Protein backbone atom coordinates (compact mmCIF):
# COMPACT_ATOMS: atom_id res chain seq x y z
CA UNK A 1 0.00 0.00 0.00
CA UNK A 2 1.43 3.37 -0.97
CA UNK A 3 -0.48 6.08 0.84
CA UNK A 4 0.74 9.61 1.59
CA UNK A 5 2.00 10.02 5.15
CA UNK A 6 -0.72 11.20 7.57
CA UNK A 7 0.24 13.76 10.21
CA UNK A 8 -1.63 13.30 13.46
CA UNK A 9 -2.53 15.21 16.57
CA UNK A 10 -3.57 13.03 19.48
CA UNK A 11 -5.67 14.93 22.01
CA UNK A 12 -5.42 12.98 25.28
CA UNK A 13 -2.42 10.85 24.29
CA UNK A 14 -1.72 9.61 27.86
CA UNK A 15 -5.20 8.12 28.29
CA UNK A 16 -6.43 4.66 27.46
CA UNK A 17 -7.48 5.55 23.88
CA UNK A 18 -4.37 7.71 23.39
CA UNK A 19 -2.04 4.87 24.37
CA UNK A 20 -3.90 2.37 22.14
CA UNK A 21 -3.64 4.85 19.26
CA UNK A 22 0.12 5.17 19.70
CA UNK A 23 0.38 1.38 19.82
CA UNK A 24 -1.25 1.15 16.38
CA UNK A 25 0.79 4.06 14.97
CA UNK A 26 4.06 2.49 16.13
CA UNK A 27 3.26 -0.50 13.86
CA UNK A 28 3.10 1.79 10.78
CA UNK A 29 5.93 4.34 10.93
CA UNK A 30 5.93 4.72 7.12
CA UNK A 31 2.29 5.73 7.04
CA UNK A 32 1.80 8.00 10.05
CA UNK A 33 3.73 10.76 11.71
CA UNK A 34 2.86 12.15 15.15
CA UNK A 35 2.58 15.94 14.92
CA UNK A 36 1.31 16.72 18.45
CA UNK A 37 0.66 14.92 21.73
CA UNK A 38 -1.41 16.32 24.61
CA UNK A 39 -2.15 15.48 28.24
CA UNK A 40 -3.68 17.21 31.22
CA UNK A 41 -1.02 16.65 33.87
CA UNK A 42 0.89 13.39 33.39
CA UNK A 43 4.22 15.01 32.60
CA UNK A 44 6.38 11.90 32.88
CA UNK A 45 4.16 9.79 30.62
CA UNK A 46 4.01 12.57 28.07
CA UNK A 47 7.82 12.98 28.21
CA UNK A 48 8.26 9.26 27.45
CA UNK A 49 5.81 9.49 24.54
CA UNK A 50 7.70 12.54 23.22
CA UNK A 51 10.97 10.59 23.35
CA UNK A 52 9.46 7.73 21.38
CA UNK A 53 7.39 9.65 18.80
CA UNK A 54 9.21 12.98 18.63
CA UNK A 55 6.22 15.25 17.87
CA UNK A 56 6.56 18.86 16.80
CA UNK A 57 4.31 20.01 19.67
CA UNK A 58 3.39 18.77 23.15
CA UNK A 59 0.55 20.39 25.11
CA UNK A 60 -0.23 20.23 28.83
CA UNK A 61 -3.08 21.49 30.98
CA UNK A 62 -1.13 24.05 33.01
CA UNK A 63 1.86 26.34 32.65
CA UNK A 64 3.64 24.63 35.56
CA UNK A 65 3.30 21.21 33.93
CA UNK A 66 4.46 22.64 30.58
CA UNK A 67 7.58 24.12 32.21
CA UNK A 68 8.37 20.80 33.80
CA UNK A 69 8.00 19.00 30.45
CA UNK A 70 10.36 21.46 28.75
CA UNK A 71 13.18 20.24 30.98
CA UNK A 72 12.51 16.62 29.98
CA UNK A 73 12.17 16.71 26.18
CA UNK A 74 14.31 17.65 23.16
CA UNK A 75 14.51 21.42 22.65
CA UNK A 76 12.98 21.26 19.16
CA UNK A 77 9.67 20.03 20.61
CA UNK A 78 7.52 23.07 21.24
CA UNK A 79 5.69 22.81 24.56
CA UNK A 80 2.38 24.68 24.91
CA UNK A 81 -0.35 24.66 27.52
CA UNK A 82 -4.04 25.31 28.08
CA UNK A 83 -7.02 25.71 25.76
CA UNK A 84 -5.10 27.83 23.26
CA UNK A 85 -2.38 25.25 22.93
CA UNK A 86 -4.96 22.51 22.34
CA UNK A 87 -6.82 24.56 19.73
CA UNK A 88 -3.56 25.34 17.93
CA UNK A 89 -2.49 21.70 17.54
CA UNK A 90 -6.06 20.57 16.70
CA UNK A 91 -6.42 23.04 13.83
CA UNK A 92 -2.80 23.42 12.65
CA UNK A 93 -2.58 23.56 8.85
CA UNK A 94 0.00 20.77 8.70
CA UNK A 95 -2.27 18.32 10.54
CA UNK A 96 -4.33 15.81 8.53
CA UNK A 97 -5.95 13.79 11.28
CA UNK A 98 -6.96 14.51 14.87
CA UNK A 99 -7.67 11.75 17.37
CA UNK A 100 -10.14 13.35 19.82
CA UNK A 101 -9.52 11.31 22.98
CA UNK A 102 -9.79 13.80 25.83
CA UNK A 103 -12.38 12.63 28.34
CA UNK A 104 -15.46 14.71 29.11
CA UNK A 105 -16.62 18.22 28.30
CA UNK A 106 -12.99 19.42 28.30
CA UNK A 107 -12.71 17.83 24.85
CA UNK A 108 -15.42 19.97 23.25
CA UNK A 109 -13.43 23.05 22.24
CA UNK A 110 -10.36 21.33 20.78
CA UNK A 111 -12.49 18.70 19.01
CA UNK A 112 -14.67 21.41 17.53
CA UNK A 113 -11.54 23.35 16.50
CA UNK A 114 -10.39 20.28 14.54
CA UNK A 115 -13.83 19.96 12.91
CA UNK A 116 -13.92 23.65 12.01
CA UNK A 117 -10.50 23.33 10.40
CA UNK A 118 -11.91 20.56 8.18
CA UNK A 119 -9.70 17.79 9.56
CA UNK A 120 -10.25 14.07 9.51
CA UNK A 121 -11.52 13.74 13.10
CA UNK A 122 -11.45 10.37 14.84
CA UNK A 123 -14.05 10.80 17.55
CA UNK A 124 -13.56 8.98 20.85
CA UNK A 125 -14.69 11.96 22.95
CA UNK A 126 -18.42 11.17 22.81
CA UNK A 127 -19.22 13.84 25.42
CA UNK A 128 -18.41 16.60 22.90
CA UNK A 129 -21.02 15.30 20.47
CA UNK A 130 -23.57 14.63 23.22
CA UNK A 131 -23.24 18.21 24.49
CA UNK A 132 -23.33 20.07 21.22
CA UNK A 133 -24.71 17.56 18.69
CA UNK A 134 -26.55 20.01 16.48
CA UNK A 135 -23.79 22.62 16.27
CA UNK A 136 -21.13 19.95 15.98
CA UNK A 137 -22.76 18.16 13.02
CA UNK A 138 -23.51 21.49 11.30
CA UNK A 139 -19.82 22.38 11.53
CA UNK A 140 -18.80 18.99 10.12
CA UNK A 141 -20.87 19.74 6.99
CA UNK A 142 -19.86 23.40 6.75
CA UNK A 143 -16.11 22.76 7.11
CA UNK A 144 -16.22 19.50 5.07
CA UNK A 145 -14.58 17.65 7.94
CA UNK A 146 -14.49 13.84 7.90
CA UNK A 147 -15.92 12.43 11.12
CA UNK A 148 -15.08 8.80 11.90
CA UNK A 149 -16.38 7.10 15.04
CA UNK A 150 -13.92 5.42 17.41
CA UNK A 151 -16.45 4.30 20.00
CA UNK A 152 -16.57 0.56 19.25
CA UNK A 153 -20.37 0.44 18.83
CA UNK A 154 -20.47 3.41 16.48
CA UNK A 155 -17.49 2.21 14.56
CA UNK A 156 -19.28 -1.14 14.17
CA UNK A 157 -22.45 0.57 12.89
CA UNK A 158 -20.37 2.70 10.52
CA UNK A 159 -18.85 -0.51 9.12
CA UNK A 160 -22.31 -2.08 8.68
CA UNK A 161 -23.79 0.89 6.81
CA UNK A 162 -23.32 1.46 3.06
CA UNK A 163 -20.29 3.58 2.09
CA UNK A 164 -22.55 6.29 0.62
CA UNK A 165 -24.88 6.37 3.66
CA UNK A 166 -26.85 9.61 3.82
CA UNK A 167 -29.75 8.79 6.13
CA UNK A 168 -31.78 5.93 7.57
CA UNK A 169 -34.73 5.93 5.14
CA UNK A 170 -32.65 6.18 2.00
CA UNK A 171 -30.38 3.33 3.10
CA UNK A 172 -33.37 1.12 3.96
CA UNK A 173 -32.37 0.86 7.61
CA UNK A 174 -35.12 -0.21 10.02
CA UNK A 175 -33.20 0.33 13.25
CA UNK A 176 -29.80 0.41 14.89
CA UNK A 177 -28.92 -2.02 17.68
CA UNK A 178 -26.33 -0.79 20.14
CA UNK A 179 -24.70 -3.60 22.05
CA UNK A 180 -23.75 -3.20 25.70
CA UNK A 181 -21.84 -5.52 28.00
CA UNK A 182 -23.94 -4.59 31.03
CA UNK A 183 -20.73 -3.68 32.90
CA UNK A 184 -19.44 -5.10 36.17
CA UNK A 185 -22.79 -4.93 38.02
CA UNK A 186 -25.04 -6.70 35.50
CA UNK A 187 -25.83 -9.51 37.94
CA UNK A 188 -24.98 -7.89 41.30
CA UNK A 189 -27.99 -8.12 43.67
CA UNK A 190 -29.84 -4.77 43.52
CA UNK A 191 -29.63 -4.44 47.32
CA UNK A 192 -25.81 -4.41 47.10
CA UNK A 193 -25.44 -1.74 44.40
CA UNK A 194 -25.44 1.26 46.77
CA UNK A 195 -22.32 -0.06 48.52
CA UNK A 196 -20.20 -0.63 45.39
CA UNK A 197 -16.81 1.13 45.53
CA UNK A 198 -15.00 3.07 42.77
CA UNK A 199 -12.54 0.19 42.31
CA UNK A 200 -15.37 -2.30 41.92
CA UNK A 201 -17.12 0.00 39.44
CA UNK A 202 -13.91 0.40 37.42
CA UNK A 203 -13.26 -3.36 37.19
CA UNK A 204 -14.92 -3.83 33.79
CA UNK A 205 -15.25 -7.49 32.76
CA UNK A 206 -14.21 -6.99 29.09
CA UNK A 207 -12.58 -3.59 28.48
CA UNK A 208 -9.66 -1.74 30.15
CA UNK A 209 -10.63 1.96 30.04
CA UNK A 210 -10.21 5.29 31.83
CA UNK A 211 -12.01 5.64 35.19
CA UNK A 212 -14.77 8.02 34.05
CA UNK A 213 -16.01 5.84 31.19
CA UNK A 214 -15.62 2.75 33.40
CA UNK A 215 -18.03 4.22 35.95
CA UNK A 216 -20.34 5.24 33.08
CA UNK A 217 -20.29 1.61 31.94
CA UNK A 218 -21.21 0.43 35.44
CA UNK A 219 -24.24 2.78 35.58
CA UNK A 220 -24.87 2.24 31.84
CA UNK A 221 -24.90 6.03 31.40
CA UNK A 222 -22.20 5.22 28.87
CA UNK A 223 -24.81 3.45 26.72
CA UNK A 224 -27.16 6.38 27.26
CA UNK A 225 -24.50 8.81 26.01
CA UNK A 226 -23.85 6.42 23.12
CA UNK A 227 -27.54 6.43 22.21
CA UNK A 228 -27.36 10.23 21.83
CA UNK A 229 -24.01 9.93 20.03
CA UNK A 230 -25.46 7.41 17.53
CA UNK A 231 -28.51 9.53 16.94
CA UNK A 232 -26.32 12.47 15.84
CA UNK A 233 -23.70 10.48 13.95
CA UNK A 234 -26.18 8.52 11.84
CA UNK A 235 -29.12 10.98 11.80
CA UNK A 236 -31.44 8.42 13.40
CA UNK A 237 -34.15 9.18 15.98
CA UNK A 238 -33.49 7.72 19.42
CA UNK A 239 -36.76 5.78 19.05
CA UNK A 240 -35.16 3.85 16.15
CA UNK A 241 -32.16 2.79 18.26
CA UNK A 242 -32.45 -0.21 20.59
CA UNK A 243 -30.00 -1.35 23.23
CA UNK A 244 -29.22 -5.02 23.65
CA UNK A 245 -27.09 -6.48 26.42
CA UNK A 246 -24.47 -8.85 25.11
CA UNK A 247 -22.14 -9.79 27.97
CA UNK A 248 -19.26 -11.20 25.86
CA UNK A 249 -18.64 -7.89 23.97
CA UNK A 250 -17.88 -9.72 20.71
CA UNK A 251 -20.66 -8.24 18.57
CA UNK A 252 -19.94 -4.52 18.79
CA UNK A 253 -23.30 -3.39 17.34
CA UNK A 254 -25.75 -4.18 14.54
CA UNK A 255 -27.80 -2.58 11.78
CA UNK A 256 -31.21 -4.00 10.84
CA UNK A 257 -32.44 -3.32 7.31
CA UNK A 258 -36.08 -3.26 6.26
CA UNK A 259 -35.81 -6.56 4.40
CA UNK A 260 -34.99 -8.26 7.72
CA UNK A 261 -31.22 -8.49 7.14
CA UNK A 262 -29.17 -7.73 10.22
CA UNK A 263 -25.50 -6.87 9.76
CA UNK A 264 -23.11 -7.01 12.70
CA UNK A 265 -19.44 -6.26 13.23
CA UNK A 266 -17.56 -8.73 15.44
CA UNK A 267 -14.12 -8.76 16.96
CA UNK A 268 -12.18 -9.18 20.17
CA UNK A 269 -12.90 -6.35 22.62
CA UNK A 270 -9.80 -4.27 21.91
CA UNK A 271 -10.02 -0.59 20.95
CA UNK A 272 -7.09 -0.96 18.57
CA UNK A 273 -9.54 -2.43 16.01
CA UNK A 274 -11.78 0.65 15.65
CA UNK A 275 -8.72 2.91 15.98
CA UNK A 276 -6.88 1.12 13.14
CA UNK A 277 -10.07 1.05 11.07
CA UNK A 278 -10.55 4.80 11.34
CA UNK A 279 -6.85 5.62 10.90
CA UNK A 280 -6.60 3.72 7.62
CA UNK A 281 -10.18 4.16 6.35
CA UNK A 282 -11.11 3.33 3.64
CA UNK A 283 -8.10 0.99 3.58
CA UNK A 284 -7.29 -1.62 6.25
CA UNK A 285 -4.12 -1.97 8.33
CA UNK A 286 -2.82 -4.34 11.01
CA UNK A 287 -3.85 -3.33 14.52
CA UNK A 288 -2.08 -5.90 16.67
CA UNK A 289 -5.42 -7.45 17.67
CA UNK A 290 -5.50 -11.25 17.66
CA UNK A 291 -7.93 -13.30 15.54
CA UNK A 292 -11.38 -13.91 16.91
CA UNK A 293 -11.62 -17.47 18.22
CA UNK A 294 -15.33 -18.26 17.92
CA UNK A 295 -14.84 -21.90 18.89
CA UNK A 296 -13.27 -20.86 22.21
CA UNK A 297 -15.95 -18.23 22.83
CA UNK A 298 -18.56 -20.90 21.96
CA UNK A 299 -21.70 -18.85 22.69
CA UNK A 300 -22.98 -15.32 22.35
CA UNK A 301 -25.77 -14.25 24.71
CA UNK A 302 -28.28 -11.44 24.61
CA UNK A 303 -30.71 -9.94 27.10
CA UNK A 304 -32.85 -6.83 27.52
CA UNK A 305 -31.42 -4.01 29.66
CA UNK A 306 -33.03 -3.73 33.10
CA UNK A 307 -34.09 -0.08 33.52
CA UNK A 308 -34.61 -0.49 37.26
CA UNK A 309 -31.00 -1.60 37.69
CA UNK A 310 -29.78 1.04 35.21
CA UNK A 311 -31.98 4.17 35.64
CA UNK A 312 -29.37 6.20 33.71
CA UNK A 313 -30.63 4.58 30.50
CA UNK A 314 -34.11 6.06 30.89
CA UNK A 315 -32.66 9.47 31.78
CA UNK A 316 -30.49 9.49 28.67
CA UNK A 317 -33.33 8.34 26.43
CA UNK A 318 -35.52 11.16 27.74
CA UNK A 319 -32.72 13.69 27.09
CA UNK A 320 -32.17 12.24 23.60
CA UNK A 321 -35.87 12.65 22.85
CA UNK A 322 -36.22 16.21 24.16
CA UNK A 323 -32.90 17.26 22.54
CA UNK A 324 -32.26 21.04 22.91
CA UNK A 325 -29.76 21.49 25.72
CA UNK A 326 -31.05 18.47 27.70
CA UNK A 327 -28.15 16.22 26.56
CA UNK A 328 -25.62 18.91 27.59
CA UNK A 329 -27.25 19.10 31.04
CA UNK A 330 -27.36 15.32 31.35
CA UNK A 331 -23.69 15.05 30.46
CA UNK A 332 -22.60 17.83 32.83
CA UNK A 333 -24.62 16.50 35.78
CA UNK A 334 -23.24 13.03 35.11
CA UNK A 335 -19.63 14.26 35.00
CA UNK A 336 -20.05 15.99 38.37
CA UNK A 337 -21.77 12.98 39.92
CA UNK A 338 -19.17 10.52 38.61
CA UNK A 339 -16.37 12.66 39.98
CA UNK A 340 -18.11 12.82 43.37
CA UNK A 341 -18.46 9.03 43.30
CA UNK A 342 -14.78 8.56 42.39
CA UNK A 343 -13.85 10.90 45.28
CA UNK A 344 -16.10 8.84 47.54
CA UNK A 345 -18.36 11.81 48.31
CA UNK A 346 -21.47 9.96 47.10
CA UNK A 347 -22.40 6.30 46.76
CA UNK A 348 -22.83 4.44 43.47
CA UNK A 349 -26.62 4.61 43.17
CA UNK A 350 -26.57 8.36 43.94
CA UNK A 351 -24.96 9.02 40.55
CA UNK A 352 -28.20 8.45 38.62
CA UNK A 353 -30.21 10.13 41.39
CA UNK A 354 -28.16 13.32 41.10
CA UNK A 355 -28.60 13.34 37.32
CA UNK A 356 -32.34 12.67 37.73
CA UNK A 357 -32.73 15.63 40.14
CA UNK A 358 -30.99 17.98 37.73
CA UNK A 359 -33.01 16.76 34.74
CA UNK A 360 -36.31 17.10 36.63
CA UNK A 361 -35.54 20.75 37.34
CA UNK A 362 -33.99 21.47 33.92
CA UNK A 363 -35.67 24.29 31.92
CA UNK A 364 -35.21 23.05 28.37
CA UNK A 365 -33.79 25.54 25.87
CA UNK A 366 -32.65 25.37 22.26
CA UNK A 367 -28.96 26.37 22.16
CA UNK A 368 -28.23 28.22 18.92
CA UNK A 369 -24.60 28.86 19.61
CA UNK A 370 -21.67 27.38 21.44
CA UNK A 371 -21.84 29.90 24.28
CA UNK A 372 -25.37 28.68 25.10
CA UNK A 373 -24.16 25.08 25.27
CA UNK A 374 -21.31 26.10 27.56
CA UNK A 375 -23.74 28.05 29.71
CA UNK A 376 -26.04 25.00 29.99
CA UNK A 377 -23.02 22.88 30.93
CA UNK A 378 -22.03 25.35 33.65
CA UNK A 379 -25.55 25.66 35.05
CA UNK A 380 -26.12 21.89 35.18
CA UNK A 381 -22.78 21.44 36.97
CA UNK A 382 -23.78 23.99 39.59
CA UNK A 383 -27.17 22.29 40.03
CA UNK A 384 -25.54 18.88 40.42
CA UNK A 385 -23.07 20.25 42.98
CA UNK A 386 -25.97 21.70 44.90
CA UNK A 387 -27.86 18.40 44.91
CA UNK A 388 -24.72 16.66 46.17
CA UNK A 389 -23.87 19.19 48.87
CA UNK A 390 -27.43 19.53 50.13
CA UNK A 391 -27.61 15.76 50.40
CA UNK A 392 -31.10 15.99 48.89
CA UNK A 393 -32.84 12.80 50.07
CA UNK A 394 -33.02 9.76 47.87
CA UNK A 395 -35.86 9.88 45.37
P1 LIG B 1 -8.60 8.47 30.08
O2 LIG B 1 -9.05 9.05 31.36
O3 LIG B 1 -7.82 7.21 30.10
O4 LIG B 1 -7.74 9.56 29.27
C5 LIG B 1 -8.16 10.87 29.12
C6 LIG B 1 -7.11 11.72 28.43
O7 LIG B 1 -7.62 13.06 28.38
C8 LIG B 1 -5.78 11.79 29.15
O9 LIG B 1 -4.73 11.89 28.22
C10 LIG B 1 -5.87 13.09 29.95
O11 LIG B 1 -4.61 13.68 30.19
C12 LIG B 1 -6.70 13.96 29.02
N13 LIG B 1 -7.50 14.95 29.77
C14 LIG B 1 -8.36 14.69 30.79
N15 LIG B 1 -8.91 15.84 31.23
C16 LIG B 1 -8.39 16.84 30.47
C17 LIG B 1 -8.54 18.25 30.45
N18 LIG B 1 -9.34 18.87 31.33
N19 LIG B 1 -7.85 18.96 29.54
C20 LIG B 1 -7.01 18.35 28.67
N21 LIG B 1 -6.83 17.01 28.64
C22 LIG B 1 -7.50 16.27 29.53
O23 LIG B 1 -9.90 8.31 29.16
P24 LIG B 1 -10.19 7.25 27.99
O25 LIG B 1 -10.74 6.00 28.57
O26 LIG B 1 -9.00 7.16 27.08
O27 LIG B 1 -11.39 7.95 27.23
C28 LIG B 1 -11.19 9.08 26.39
C29 LIG B 1 -12.48 9.35 25.62
O30 LIG B 1 -12.74 8.24 24.76
C31 LIG B 1 -13.72 9.49 26.51
O32 LIG B 1 -14.57 10.45 25.98
C33 LIG B 1 -14.36 8.11 26.43
O34 LIG B 1 -15.77 8.16 26.61
C35 LIG B 1 -14.01 7.70 25.01
N36 LIG B 1 -13.97 6.25 24.81
C37 LIG B 1 -13.06 5.50 25.48
C38 LIG B 1 -13.01 4.13 25.29
C39 LIG B 1 -11.97 3.28 26.00
O40 LIG B 1 -11.90 2.07 25.73
N41 LIG B 1 -11.15 3.81 26.89
C42 LIG B 1 -13.91 3.51 24.43
C43 LIG B 1 -14.84 4.31 23.76
C44 LIG B 1 -14.85 5.68 23.95
MG1 LIG C 1 -18.56 2.30 23.47
Q: Which tens digits make up the pLDDT trace of 329-348? A: 999 999 999 999 999 999 99
* 359: three-class secondary structure by DSSP: helix
Work out which ligand 1 atom sits closest to the CA atom of 12.
Answer: 9
* Cis status, amide bond into 85, omega within 30 of 0: no
Ligand nearest to the CA of 43: 1
What is the dotted CATH code of the domain comprising 6-150? 3.40.50.720
> CA 316 to CA 280: how far, in whole Å?
32
Residue 197 has pLDDT above 50, yes or no: yes
> CA 158 to CA 353: how far, in whole Å?
33
> CA 52 to CA 9: how far, in whole Å?
15
Question: Atom 22 of ligand 1 has which residue's CA nearest to it?
Answer: 40
Work out which ligand 1 atom sits closest to the CA atom of 42.
Answer: 11
pLDDT at 392: 57
Residue 64 has pLDDT above 50, yes or no: yes
Q: Among residues of the chain, what percentage have pLDDT more than 90? A: 96
Question: Atom 30 of ligand 1 has which residue's CA nearest to it?
Answer: 124
Q: How far is the CA of 253 from the centre of ligand 2 (A)?
A: 10
For range 275-279, the mean pLDDT: 98
Residue 226 has pLDDT above 50, yes or no: yes
Residue 2 has pLDDT above 80, yes or no: no
* 97: three-class secondary structure by DSSP: strand
Residue 167 has pLDDT above 70, yes or no: yes
pLDDT at 391: 65
Q: Which residues of 230-249 are buried (b: 16+ CB within 10 A; e: fewer)?
A: bbbbbebebeebebebbbbb
Q: How far is the CA of 213 from the centre of ligand 1 (A)?
A: 8
Average pLDDT for the chain: 97
Residue 394 has pLDDT above 60, yes or no: no
For range 38-58, the mean pLDDT: 98
Residue 77 has pLDDT above 90, yes or no: yes
3-state helix, strand, coil in the chain (%, to 5): 50, 15, 35
Question: Atom 32 of ligand 1 has which residue's CA nearest to it?
Answer: 125
Residue boundaries of the structural domains of the chain? 6-150, 158-389
Stated pTM of the model: 0.97
For range 59-82, the mean pLDDT: 98
Q: How many CB atoms lie within 10 A of CB 19?
A: 17
pLDDT at 377: 98
Residues framing ligand 1 (Cβ under 6 A): 12-18, 39-40, 42, 61, 101-103, 106, 124-127, 151, 207, 209-210, 212-213, 271
Q: How far is the CA of 191 from the centre of ligand 1 (A)?
A: 31
Residues whose CB is less than 8 angstroms from the CB of residue 110 and which lie 6 or more positions away in sequence, other chains included: 11, 38, 83, 86, 87, 89, 90, 100, 102
For range 229-258, the mean pLDDT: 98
Residue 96 has pLDDT above 70, yes or no: yes
Ligand nearest to the CA of 227: 2
pLDDT at 395: 45
For range 77-84, the mean pLDDT: 98
Instruction: Give the Å distances, CA to CA, from 92 to 89, 114, 128, 130, 175.
Output: 5, 8, 20, 25, 38
Tell the CATH topology of 158-389: Rna Polymerase Sigma Factor; Chain: A (1.10.1740)
Nearest CA to 100 out of 127, 118, 60 is that of 127
Amino acid sequence: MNLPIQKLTILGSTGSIGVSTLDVLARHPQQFQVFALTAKQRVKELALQCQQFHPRYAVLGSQAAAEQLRTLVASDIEVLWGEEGLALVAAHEEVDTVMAAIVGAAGLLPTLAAVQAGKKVLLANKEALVMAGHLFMDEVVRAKATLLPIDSEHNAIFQCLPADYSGREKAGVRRLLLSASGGPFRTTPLSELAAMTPDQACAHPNWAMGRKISVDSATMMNKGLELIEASWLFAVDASDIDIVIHPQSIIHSLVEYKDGSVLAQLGNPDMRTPIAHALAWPERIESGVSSLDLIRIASLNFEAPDEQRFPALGLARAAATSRGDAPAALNAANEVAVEAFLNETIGFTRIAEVVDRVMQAWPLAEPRELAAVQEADKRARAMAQQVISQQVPTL
